[in-house]
Amino acid sequence: MQAGIRTVSANQNWDMEVDVLVVGAGGCGLAAAICAHDAGASVAILEKRERAGGNSSLSTGSVPGAGSRFQREAGIEDSPQKMVADLERLAGDSDLPALTRRMAAISAPLCEWLVDTVGARMALITDYCHIGHSVPRLHAPVSRRGQDLVDDLLAAVERRDIPLATSNAVSDLLIDSAGAIAGVAVDVPGVGRSTIGAGAVILACNGFAANRELVARYCGEIAGAEYFGALGSEGEAVMWGEQLGARLGNMQAYQGYAAVAYPHGSLLSWTTIEKGGVLVNAHGERFGNEDLGYSAYAREVLAQQQNVYAIFDDRIKDIASKEEEFAELVNLGGLKSADSIDALARCFDLPAATLARTLDAYNEAAAQRSADPLGRDRFGLAPLSGRLWICRVTPGLFHTQGGLAVDDNARVIRADGSAIAGLFAGGGAAAGISGRAGARGYASGNGLLSAIGLGYLAGLEAARLTTERA
Ligand SMILES: Cc1cc2nc3c(=O)[nH]c(=O)nc-3n(C[C@H](O)[C@H](O)[C@H](O)COP(=O)(O)OP(=O)(O)OC[C@H]3O[C@@H](n4cnc5c(N)ncnc54)[C@H](O)[C@@H]3O)c2cc1C
């Protein structure tokens, strides 16, 4: 992976020219390309990997929309103000508070645009309030698979004949003598390097979670966790931004996941914990307050430096089984079950007496007969009863949230607030809306909202800029 900046002359010979060049074909890049095209610009998308989708494909495809018509139809009262309050309560300070307000403001029209213009097969999730949301506001594919959302975006790109070249890694940003973006250089396997001239470049190449050095530099607390996202997130946007004097924002923020099923590598649905399950270590002891949520709790799991297990009961397993990925994990034999705590402990050679004491104390707290020693106060269906299920889990890093600071139209800005002419960023490439503090600020859907939301805004503004200029 290379991420250089080169200055080109006014009479540069381009291999191809477009109004808007999009770097990366995940949620952000595909949305940006559709918007820029619909606003009248010529567009092309370059994707480093052999297939489009990136982390967006791996996600659950959930996008928050505060005040959408789908919420109104379901009788749910919501507003951007309510969403900003929710996000700020969870995330605390942000390097870019205006971005949080901007994303909340466009979230509802964005979900409607996805359904009406893109043709995304999405629906409001009404049965469940996700982490960080005071009302149900996530709109997601019925399957809860990001791949479906990506497929719908790709179909919309295809219908518009927007060129999308995979296995085309952008290696350099090319600037003119005044420092404005003029195009990109691309590495094409077997062909060599080519250059594409563009009036605007949209960085939709995600964050730096696959780049160990950048993760250690900016998100040290999770540096020991395995990365479970797509391999393309190698941090080029940050590296280009640093060279161009761009401001970086919220660099410590990341999304973790406390319960990746081991050794299967699929997610153990956090529903299992929210509905009353617990996590215990190899000594059979709980070690923290699971109410922290799947992202913030990843750090606590990592800190154990030993095997960790999720435990829940049959009723909870039945609820989680409605989610495809969980059902698949069950079918693959990723969970074990037993009728007694002794037998459950034997599944993984855990100390049975300690495990029994741990579960008794937890059940007492869940039954409101004592306070939970670890401070948990949401117990779902617990006390746990009947048949118990157990799954070994490891902590994972899903994506980084910090990146290039952008203005209200997704233009990349410098420390003094001035925009770098012709450069846009969205999604993981841009500073996120989860605050600046580790994983605690991540509310469900924050990643895709800033991907698709900033992609949408970048596409519109880049098209306006380049078509007006023409
Ligand atoms: C397992 C998992 C579950 C998640 N669940 C959710 C969820 O439910 N809701 C949510 O909001 N977020 C979720 N996230 C986070 C979410 O997926 C990301 O925040 C979001 O997809 C980022 O979108 P993006 O378009 O910025 O990046 P991506 O979708 O990763 O797309 C970036 C693309 O750019 C390409 N690229 C990189 N560098 C270059 C280059 N130099 N040249 C050309 N192409 C390049 C990459 O290969 C990639 O295809 C999850 C993440 C993971 C890993």
Band of the pLDDT at 132, cuts 50, 70, 90?
A: confident
pLDDT tens for 71-107 read: 999 999 999 999 999 999 988 899 999 999 999 999 9
Res. 324: pLDDT tops 80: yes
**Ligand 1 contact, 451 CB (< 6 A):** yes
pLDDT at residue 444 in the model: 87
Q: Which amino acid is at 234?
A: E
Q: Residue 30 and residue 206: Cα distance in Å, rounded?
A: 13
Res. 425: pLDDT tops 80: yes
- Helices 446-469 and 97-113, axial angle in degrees (round to 10): 80
**Ligand 1 contact, 48 CB (< 6 A):** yes
Q: Residue 401 and residue 436: Cα distance in Å, rounded?
A: 9
> Can you give the pTM of this predicted structure?
0.91
Task: Tell me what the mean pLDDT of segment 434-447 comes to.
Answer: 89
Task: Look at residue 383 and give its three-state secondary structure.
Answer: coil
pLDDT tens for 333-368 read: 999 999 999 999 999 999 999 999 999 999 999 999
**Ligand 1 contact, 169 CB (< 6 A):** yes
Closest C-alpha residue for ligand 1 atom 5: 59
pLDDT at residue 468 in the model: 82
pLDDT at residue 165 in the model: 96
pLDDT tens for 267-321 read: 899 999 999 999 999 999 999 999 988 888 999 999 999 999 999 999 999 999 9
**Ligand 1 contact, 141 CB (< 6 A):** no
Res. 191: pLDDT tops 90: no
Phi and psi (nearest 5°) for 443?
Answer: -100, 150
pLDDT tens for 157-173 read: 999 999 999 999 999 99
Ligand 1 probe mutation, 107, 399, 457, most atoms within 8 A of CB:
399
Dist. CA 70 → ligand 1 center (Å): 26
pLDDT at residue 72 in the model: 96
Q: Residue 96 and residue 55: Cα distance in Å, rounded?
A: 23
pLDDT tens for 265-282 read: 888 999 999 999 999 999
Q: Residue 335 and residue 392: Cα distance in Å, rounded?
A: 8
Res. 202: pLDDT tops 70: yes
Task: Tell me what the mean pLDDT of segment 56-80 comes to.
Answer: 95
- Whole-number mean pLDDT of the chain? 95
Closest CA to 295 of 430, 398, 448, 401: 398
Task: Tell me what the mean pLDDT of segment 96-122 comes to.
Answer: 97
Res. 448: pLDDT tops 90: yes
Phi and psi (nearest 5°) for 17?
Answer: -135, 140
pLDDT tens for 135-146 read: 999 999 988 889
What burial class does residue 259 get, using C-beta atoms within 10 Å of its C-beta: 0-12 exposed, 13-18 middle, 19+ buried?
A: buried
pLDDT at residue 124 in the model: 95
pLDDT at residue 470 in the model: 66
**Ligand 1 contact, 46 CB (< 6 A):** yes
- Cβ atoms of residues 373 and 361 within 8 Å: yes
CA 371 to chain CA centroid, Å, is 34
Instruction: Annotate 170-197 with b (16+ C-beta within 10 A) or e (fewer).
Output: bbbbbbbeeeebbbbbbbeeeeeeebbb
Between 459 and 191, whose confidence is greater?
459
